[in-house]
Amino acid sequence: MGRIIRIAAAQMGPTQKADARSHTVGRMIALLEEAASKGATLVVYPELAFTTFFPRWLLEGAELLKEYERSMPNPEVQPLFDRARELGIGFYVGYAEITSEGERFNTSIIVACDGTILGKYRKVHLPGSVEPRPGAQFQQLEKRYFEYGDLGFPVYRAGAEWSGALIGMLICNDRRWPEAWRTLALQGMELLCVGYNSAAYDPNGGDTESADLRTFHAQLVAQANAYMNACWAVAVAKAGDEDGSCLIGGSCIVDPNGQIVAETTTLADEVIVADCDLDLCQQGKTKMFNFEAHRRPQWYTRITSQTGVIYPEDEIG
Amino acid sequence: MGRIIRIAAAQMGPTQKADARSHTVGRMIALLEEAASKGATLVVYPELAFTTFFPRWLLEGAELLKEYERSMPNPEVQPLFDRARELGIGFYVGYAEITSEGERFNTSIIVACDGTILGKYRKVHLPGSVEPRPGAQFQQLEKRYFEYGDLGFPVYRAGAEWSGALIGMLICNDRRWPEAWRTLALQGMELLCVGYNSAAYDPNGGDTESADLRTFHAQLVAQANAYMNACWAVAVAKAGDEDGSCLIGGSCIVDPNGQIVAETTTLADEVIVADCDLDLCQQGKTKMFNFEAHRRPQWYTRITSQTGVIYPEDEIG
């Protein structure tokens, strides 16, 4: 029988800085309707889905603040919530959050099929820098625009409509950090949702990584971490050319064997769907990756006791 | 210029239970000489390289004890050490260790080009069981035949002949555990050597994983963990049909981008070689995976504070 959820990855093409929020939400509703027509009950959108990837610019004042959501939902995004509830579909979506106290986070939520917010996550692994790079055409200022996530890595238990799935969330760069996946898997995670905006190349010429190599990296970490944590993973891009800065695509749905079962082929708005049987996690969780039987935490202490590298010759004691 | 080590992966075909140690050591010397002829200065052999994978049988007394090495080197394996020193080559090799106190470990060592033992590792992630499975044709009794490794995950600094490489070791199943790689990378690891004996299928029919899927898993974890830890990885199989129990091949040399630069094509004795430039680790170690800048250990505490899964509804506090 299995515990099957039909999941859609709703990759989004580029969103330009000048695009109205209403236009972007309209695109998201069109993706939602396509996913619904394919029978999906859970749609995964990218990181910062309602806006362009604005940390690429040094912004201030009102120009910066308009990129954030002051509540969720809010009148601008309400049409997405309304249409999802009408269709009986839930979704993961990423957005820039500003709290009533003015704290800012790179956030994602899971919205259940009845429109309630099942869970929230705030990005822990913020890449980039606080200070802009002088002379650079494009910045990566996530460390400037967001606080580090303060919710840890929570796992949420879904309702019967998703077979009681244990769902974890990550955001973009988080997916490259095995600590994040493992912390979720130690809570029984069966499904990992992650949206991303990943540069296709360094527009400032700082490295030699091609778009193909970056797409390979993005899929490799989704595949291996899904396998090593015996879970499904749905990784969804905002892709294409945003005001001259290009983002990779390569959105994919990965099974607990680390195999890609569906992937996008464009850099545009595109829906892919897969039937994800949560019971397929059991082989890994009970055998090869039976944590209780095989993990040896006493030898992992460096993972929590140190942040950076300590070379053997600098070891104290 | 780069800090280049030419490394050979010396995959071994099957070793039958009846094979004499001298025969097996002779095969290893032939592989060493082939590696030397190709210009390698470091050869990586499999796990339990001097014997068959004996944990597949329930053995007792002298029949079991003869599979272990009482010292390293010892007269039976001395010819390998002698030939390596003559050729100016060092090596990683796995073997069953029994100490003078009778403690038994699944062990590996790195031998430097001058024949001295640079470092030792004892396998932490022992798969299998203590008690034999009733009625099974083949067992997996590593938890019976070995103590859990008691050396942690040490990193060793090589000499000038290997450009001062920071080398870590894992053994077989360890490579599927991201905690092990990360603990090594937190000591600056630039090169990971791992030997393995991985079953090609479950001879007892306990799962549906094909040899192809198992080979995919083996390469996937080497690739992703090399990328996420910005290191080279050399993963080397004992392969083929050992007394009716089949082992996968798929030995590979992986660069810090997670890309396979050389891989074996047989299930037999086979040497592959690659020039591994340690300086290629620097891009990852200083940017994407700059641990000091980006890790957030306060959110990783479950990794060391719990062994098995704690479900959200069972959380205390």
Q: Please check whether residue B42 is in contact with residue B84, taking contact to mean a CB–CB distance below 8 angstroms.
A: no
Give the pLDDT score at B317: 61
Sign of CA dihedral B39, B43, B44, B50: positive
Sign of CA dihedral B69, B71, B76, B81: positive
Cα(A117)–Cα(B162) distance, integer angstroms: 55
A56-107: pLDDT as tens digits: 999 999 999 999 999 999 999 999 999 999 999 999 999 999 999 999 999 9
Spatial neighbors of A89 by CB under 8 A, at least 6 apart, are: A32, A35, A36, A40, A41, A42, A43, A113
User: A220–B258: do the CB atoms touch at under 8 Å?
Assistant: yes
User: A305–B313: do the CB atoms touch at under 8 Å?
Assistant: no
Residue B2, CA distances (Å) to B5, B130, B278 in order: 10, 47, 7
Among B192, B186, B152, smallest CA distance to B168 is for B192
Give the pLDDT score at B201: 87
First to last CA, chain A: 56
Percent of chain B with pLDDT over 70: 98
Record the tokens describing residue A84, joined without a space.
């999802």
Spatial neighbors of B18 by CB under 8 A, at least 6 apart, are: none
Mean predicted lDDT score pLDDT of chain B:
96
| Average pLDDT estimate for B28-35 | 98
Mutant choice from B252, B292, B296, B305 vs A, greatest count of A C-beta within 10 A: B296
**Parallel, antiparallel, or unpaired for β A166-171 and A191-196?**
parallel
Residue type for B65, please? L
Q: What pLDDT band is residue A206 in, cutting at 50, 70 and 90? A: low
Give the pLDDT score at B127: 95
Q: Please check whether residue B83 is in contact with residue B29, taking contact to mean a CB–CB distance below 8 angstroms.
A: yes
Residue type for B39, please? G
Spatial neighbors of B63 by CB under 8 A, at least 6 apart, are: none
Cα(A80)–Cα(A74) distance, integer angstroms: 10
- Give the residue ranges of DSSP H helices in chain B: 21-37, 61-65, 78-87, 142-145, 178-185, 211-228, 281-286, 291-294, 302-305
| Average pLDDT estimate for B62-76 | 97
Mean predicted lDDT score pLDDT of chain A:
96
User: B228–A176: do the CB atoms touch at under 8 Å?
Assistant: yes
B207, pLDDT greater than 80: no
B312, pLDDT greater than 70: yes
B47, pLDDT greater than 90: yes
Q: What single string gives the DSSP state of each residue in chain A? A: ---EEEEEEEEB----TT--HHHHHHHHHHHHHHHHHTT-SEEE--TTTTS--GGGS---HHHHHTTSBSSSS-TTTHHHHHHHHHHT-EEEEEEEEE-TT--EEEEEEEE-TTS-EEEEEE-S---S-SSPPTT-SS---HHHH-PPPSS---EEE--GGGTT-EEEEEEGGGGG-HHHHHHHHTTT--EEEEEE--BSS-TT------HHHHHHHHHHHHHHHHHHTT-EEEEEEB-EEETTEEE----EEE-TTS-EEEE--SSSSEEEEEEEEGGGHHHHHHTTT-HHHH--GGG-THHHH-SS---GGG---
Residue matched to tokens 């937190």? B186
Which residue of chain B has the CA closest to A222?
A: B224
B76, pLDDT greater than 80: yes
Percent of chain A with pLDDT over 70: 98
Record the tokens describing residue B138, joined without a space.
């083949």
**Catalytic residue list contains A66:** no
Least confident segment among B9-13, B203-207, B295-299: B203-207
**A283 contacts in chain B (CB < 8 Å):** 207
| Average pLDDT estimate for A209-235 | 97
**A299 contacts in chain B (CB < 8 Å):** 124, 149, 152-153, 179-180, 183
Among A253, A136, A105, smallest CA distance to A199 is for A136
How many residues can be counted in chain A?
A: 317
A281, pLDDT greater than 90: yes
Instruction: Looking at the complex, report in whole angstroms how far the Cα of residue B164 sits from the nearest Cα belonging to chain A.
Output: 12
Q: Please check whether residue B4 is in contact with residue B277, taking contact to mean a CB–CB distance below 8 angstroms.
A: yes
Question: How is the beta sheet containing B270-277 ordered, strand by strand?
Answer: B117-122, B104-111, B90-98, B42-44, B4-11, B270-277
Cα(B251)–Cα(B264) distance, integer angstroms: 5
| Average pLDDT estimate for A109-133 | 97
Closest residue to B228, CB basis, from A221, A223, A283 = A221
Residue matched to tokens 């990784």? A235
Give the pLDDT score at A317: 62
Which residue of chain B has the CA closest to A143?
A: B294
Give the pLDDT score at B316: 75
Instruction: Looking at the complex, report in whole angstroms how far the Cα of residue B220 sits from the nearest Cα belonging to chain A.
Output: 6
Residue B36, CA distances (Å) to B126, B196, B288, B290 in order: 33, 22, 36, 36
A243-270: pLDDT as tens digits: 999 999 999 999 999 999 999 999 999 9
Q: How many residue pairs from chains A and B have C-beta atoms closer than 8 A?
A: 207
One-letter-per-residue 3-state SS of A159-183: CHHHCCCEEEEEEHHHHHCHHHHHH
Neighbouring-strand partners of residue A261 = none
Give me the catalytic one of A123, A238, A242, A285.
A123
Give the pLDDT score at A77: 98
Instruction: Looking at the complex, report in whole angstroms how far the Cα of residue B206 sits from the nearest Cα belonging to chain A.
Output: 10
Neighbouring-strand partners of residue A107 = A95, A122
User: B303–A305: do the CB atoms touch at under 8 Å?
Assistant: no
| Average pLDDT estimate for B99-105 | 98
Residue type for B314, please? D
| CATH 3.30.2320.80 at B4-316, yes or no | no
Cα(B33)–Cα(B23) distance, integer angstroms: 15
Give me the catalytic one of B67, B97, B142, B172.
B172
Least confident segment among A14-18, A129-133, B117-121, B312-316: B312-316
A127-179: pLDDT as tens digits: 999 999 999 999 999 999 999 999 999 999 999 999 999 999 999 999 999 99
**Parallel, antiparallel, or unpaired for β A245-247 and A240-242?**
antiparallel
Domain ranges for chain A: 4-316
Q: What pLDDT band is residue B208 in, cutting at 50, 70 and 90? A: confident
Record the tokens describing residue B24, joined without a space.
């097996």
Record the tokens describing residue A214, joined without a space.
């970056």
**A227 contacts in chain B (CB < 8 Å):** 217, 220-221
Closest residue to A124, CB basis, from B188, B296, B309 = B296
Give the pLDDT score at B236: 99
Q: What pLDDT band is residue A315 in, cutting at 50, 70 and 90? A: confident
User: B309–A185: do the CB atoms touch at under 8 Å?
Assistant: yes
